[in-house]
Amino acid sequence: MRIAIVVARFNDFITERLLEGAKAALAEAGVTEDEVELLRVPGAFEIPMAAQRVAETGRVSAVVCLGCLIRGATPHFEYIASACAQGIIAASSMTGVPMSFGVLTTNSAEEALERAAPGPANKGREAAEAAIEMATLFARVGDGRS
Ligand code: INI
């Protein structure tokens, strides 16, 4: 099973931890490193574009989307969070490839760190597990054309 991970560089002190959690979950599920396609993008806003592009290649069974938005001085927060979530859903609907949402939207860096800590609460791990489950489900359901 080939899986893509799209990870934002913005707030990389968090997103790299989400990436570690996602990679660990994929490895535990038997997905080898060769079967993981990693795409880095500038920020959460760009995640849906890259997710859609890699899904359109037909190479991957699911896309894990990882990012981190920390509410603060930026008025961008709501716009980017909304564009990211809606964009991922739209990209998944348009391509038929499941995409999971491992994008943190928190009030503080502390909250983000809690959700990016190693272990079962890591949201990158959770997103990877959801992606595998959905890819497995879709493989079982089929596309109705065979
Ligand atoms: N991108 C993030 O991933 N997280 C943020 O918290 C954030 N803030 O705060 O602005 C952010 N902005 C960058 C944005 O995602 C785009 O990369 C940028 O606007 C260029 O299109």
- Which of the residues 38, 71, 76, 113 is marked catalytic? 76
- pLDDT tens digit sequence for 1-29: 999 999 999 999 999 999 999 999 999 99
Domains of the chain, first to last: 3-141 (3.40.50.960)
HSE-CB for 70 with a 13 A CA cutoff:
17
Q: Which helix (H) or strand (E) holds 123?
A: helix 123-141
Crossing angle (nearest 10°) for helices 109-116 and 123-141? 50
Name the residue at shortest CA distance from atom 17 of ligand 1.
43
Model pTM?
0.96
Report pLDDT digits (tens) over 49-66. Answer: 999 999 999 999 999 999
Nearest to 106 by CA among 82, 71, 74: 71
- Adjacent-strand bridge partners of 104: 68
Atom of ligand 1 nearest to the CA of 72: 9
Q: Is 74 in the pocket of ligand 1 (CB under 6 A)?
A: yes
The CA dihedral of 113, 39, 69, 18, to the nearest 10 degrees, is -20
Q: Is 102 a known active-site residue?
A: no
CA distance 115 to 14: 9
Ligand 1: residue whose CA is nearest its atom 13: 43
